[in-house]
């Protein structure tokens, strides 16, 4: 039997996704000859990922010993296993073993490799495979995988460009293409493109496909046409939980609380039990505390209170109602926490010293902070005028955690110095530290500090920049007028007032 065939049999045995299978065969290529592959049949308990590692190790050893392996079925099976296990590192190793000629001529192998890369965020690698594929236009599979990869990583413009290239090359979209393209349209708010795709959906005969119709509901809702979203929703022949959640999310996004509550009730009446997405979504609406308590009670009865998205949403909504005690209770009772949990509890305490305590607890729990975490703790330091702590946190953010500061981080840093009365230091953050032009939030923080501490010179610089960035924001003009007023510069107050009148702003 050929070497490739033996290995393929071992793969099929090792990676059978039978839940009752607790043991798998281990390959051994330690001793090889040109005509025989010795297989160690000893059974050892292994995870599927460990088994995959062993198979790839043996394949690499075989190739190193001069054995030619070019069986497309074997590579296809391996790549399918990598996809199911999200084992992209092993997939990369397998990619190196696939002969280039095989990869280019076999659309099945190249398509599965492309899907593995795209689904794990390796977009450049996926596109390289795509560019060299022979026969990629034989089906929509490869196109769908790459479009999905672009969409899931937020590269909506690239996803749409690829879709139009697909149509131009004569590849027919299918029921997996349209939802991904519609997600890109919704992500960019391009309703005219979404309508064009909708017409293509009708032309291709997918008007009764629930998966596609759910995508249409989501697209129209995100693009602002909630009426059209509801019309499509009502036409879905067999609604599922995704259908209800898409419509519910649309209503909540547009702050249509009554409609959101009605659709939530209809969902339950039709026998669809709200999941974590449903509960989290309805909790983000501007509900009364009474309604929040009722939903919390329903969640308790269902035994899903400690579902992470639900618990995180409960913390946030209780804090929005001023019930930090209840937010803390939910957090303290959670059996497990994720990064969102820590960010939420820190954020709701960003005006309190407790934010730093929770931050330290987060670090002690071996949870690494992200950019959102540092916005909250830097805000807390600014409110508490903890300049040294804020400086240390900003330094750790960039050096220890390798987080590139955003505009919001710099605004917090300027606010940190500004609230402490260190106006010159705050201004130097903009002139000496920032790697890009300051935006309204940064200059606004500086202008407010100048107002509090009556710093006219730097206040004028901040105001002039804000007048250019936000020419219609009368708040900036009024702040500068108040700065002049505090130091008795009546003539300059009148000058700014005239400037506002000439710009058509309300004094």
* Closest CA relative to residue 15, chosen from 46, 58, 57, 37: 46
Residue finishing a domain among 293, 312, 332: 332
- Residue 28 belongs to some domain of the structure: yes
Max Cα-Cα span within the chain? 98
Please count the structural domains in the chain: 4
- pLDDT of 70 above 90: no
Same domain, 489 and 460: yes
- pLDDT of 20 above 70: no
Same domain, 295 and 375: no
- Residue 435 belongs to some domain of the structure: yes
Q: Got the DSSP string for 30-46?
A: SSEETTEE-----EE--
pLDDT of amino acid 453: 96
- Residue 150 belongs to some domain of the structure: no
Same domain, 400 and 365: yes
Say what percent of the chain tops pLDDT 90: 74
Residue finishing a domain among 298, 332, 366: 332
- Residue 385 belongs to some domain of the structure: yes
pLDDT of amino acid 60: 86
Same domain, 297 and 353: no
Helix (H) or strand (E) holding 272: none
pLDDT of amino acid 1: 42
pLDDT of amino acid 507: 64
Q: Where are the beta strands (DSSP E) in 185-340?
A: none
pLDDT digits (tens, 9 = 90+) for 338-397: 999 999 999 999 888 899 999 999 999 999 999 999 999 999 999 999 999 999 999 999
Q: Are 449 and 426 in contact (CB under 8 A)?
A: yes
Whole-structure pTM value: 0.73
Residue finishing a domain among 99, 115, 148: 99
Q: Is 465 exposed, middle or buried (0-12, 13-18, 19+ CB in 10 A)?
A: buried
Q: Are 451 and 459 in contact (CB under 8 A)?
A: yes
- pLDDT of 7 above 50: no
pLDDT of amino acid 226: 96
- pLDDT of 21 above 80: no
- Residue 180 belongs to some domain of the structure: no
* Closest CA relative to residue 159, chosen from 130, 134, 137, 183: 183
Same domain, 350 and 394: yes
Going by the DSSP 8-state scheme, the letter that residue 433 receives in this structure is I
Same domain, 269 and 356: no
Helix (H) or strand (E) holding 139: none
pLDDT of amino acid 37: 39
Domain that holds residue 68: 1-99
Q: What share of the chain is helix, strand, coil (3-state, %, to 5)?
A: 70, 0, 30
Same domain, 5 and 65: yes
- Residue 438 belongs to some domain of the structure: yes
Instruction: Enumerate residues 6+ apart whose C-beta is below 8 A from 127.
Output: 146
pLDDT of amino acid 46: 65
- pLDDT of 94 above 70: yes
Ranked by mean pLDDT, the top range of 40-49, 72-81, 226-235 is 226-235
Query: Would you mind telling me the total number of residues written for the chain in this entry?
Result: 507
Same domain, 327 and 366: no
- Residue 303 belongs to some domain of the structure: yes
Instruction: Enumerate residues 6+ apart whose C-beta is below 8 A from 209.
Output: 175, 178
pLDDT of amino acid 349: 93
SS3 505: coil
Q: Where are the beta strands (DSSP E) in 35-110?
A: 36-37, 43-44
**Distance, CA of 410 to CA of 412 (rounded, Å):** 5
Same domain, 2 and 81: yes
Same domain, 344 and 303: no
Q: Which residue has tokens 């010159």?
A: 424
Same domain, 5 and 93: yes
pLDDT of amino acid 23: 33
- Residue 139 belongs to some domain of the structure: no
Same domain, 350 and 265: no
């Amino acid at each position: 039997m050929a070497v490739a065939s033996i290995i393929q049999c071992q793969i099929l045995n090792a990676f059978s996704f039978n839940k009752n299978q607790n043991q798998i065969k281990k390959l051994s290529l330690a001793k090889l000859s040109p005509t025989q592959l010795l297989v160690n049949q000893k059974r050892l308990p292994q995870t599927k990922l460990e088994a995959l590692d062993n198979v790839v190790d043996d394949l690499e050893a075989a190739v190193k010993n001069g054995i030619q392996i070019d069986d497309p079925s074997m590579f296809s099976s391996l790549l399918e296993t990598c996809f199911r296990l999200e084992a992209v590192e092993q997939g990369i190793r397998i990619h190196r073993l696939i002969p280039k000629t095989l990869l280019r001529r076999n659309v099945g192998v190249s398509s599965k490799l492309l899907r593995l890369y795209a689904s794990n965020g390796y977009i450049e690698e996926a596109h390289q495979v795509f560019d060299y594929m022979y026969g990629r236009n034989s089906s929509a599979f490869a196109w769908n995988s790459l479009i999905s990869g672009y969409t899931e990583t937020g590269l909506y413009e690239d996803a749409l460009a690829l879709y139009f290239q697909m149509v131009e090359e004569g590849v027919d979209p299918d029921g997996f293409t349209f939802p991904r393209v519609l997600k890109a349209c919704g992500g960019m708010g391009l309703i005219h493109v979404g309508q064009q795709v909708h017409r293509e959906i009708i032309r291709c005969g997918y008007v009764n496909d629930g998966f596609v119709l759910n995508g249409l509901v989501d697209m129209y809702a995100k693009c602002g046409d909630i009426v059209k979203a509801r019309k499509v929703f009502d036409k879905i022949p067999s609604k599922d939980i995704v259908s209800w959640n898409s419509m519910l999310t649309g209503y909540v996004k547009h702050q249509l609380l009554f409609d959101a509550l009605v659709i939530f009730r209809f969902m339950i009446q039709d026998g669809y039990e709200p999941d974590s997405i449903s509960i989290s979504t309805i909790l983000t609406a501007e509900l009364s505390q009474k309604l929040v308590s009722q939903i919390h009670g329903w969640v308790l009865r269902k035994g899903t209170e400690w579902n992470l998205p639900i618990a995180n949403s409960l913390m946030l909504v209780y804090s929005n109602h001023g019930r930090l005690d209840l937010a803390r209770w939910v957090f303290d009772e959670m059996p497990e926490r994720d990064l969102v949990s820590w960010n939420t509890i820190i954020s709701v305490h960003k005006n309190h010293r407790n934010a730093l305590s929770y931050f330290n607890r987060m670090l002690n729990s071996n949870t690494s902070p992200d950019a959102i975490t540092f916005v909250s703790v830097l805000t807390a330091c600014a409110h508490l005028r903890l300049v040294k702590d804020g400086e240390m946190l900003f330094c750790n953010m960039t050096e220890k955690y390798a987080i590139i500061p955003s505009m919001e981080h710099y605004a917090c840093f300027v606010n940190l110095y500004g609230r402490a009365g260190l106006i010159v230091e705050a201004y130097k953050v903009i002139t000496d530290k920032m790697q890009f032009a300051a935006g309204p939030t940064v200059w606004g923080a500086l202008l407010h500090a100048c107002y509090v501490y009556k710093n006219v010179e730097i206040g004028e610089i901040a105001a002039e920049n804000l007048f250019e960035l936000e020419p219609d924001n009368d708040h900036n003009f009024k702040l500068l007028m108040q700065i002049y007023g505090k130091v008795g510069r009546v003539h300059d107050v009148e000058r700014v007032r005239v400037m506002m009148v000439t710009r058509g702003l309300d004094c």
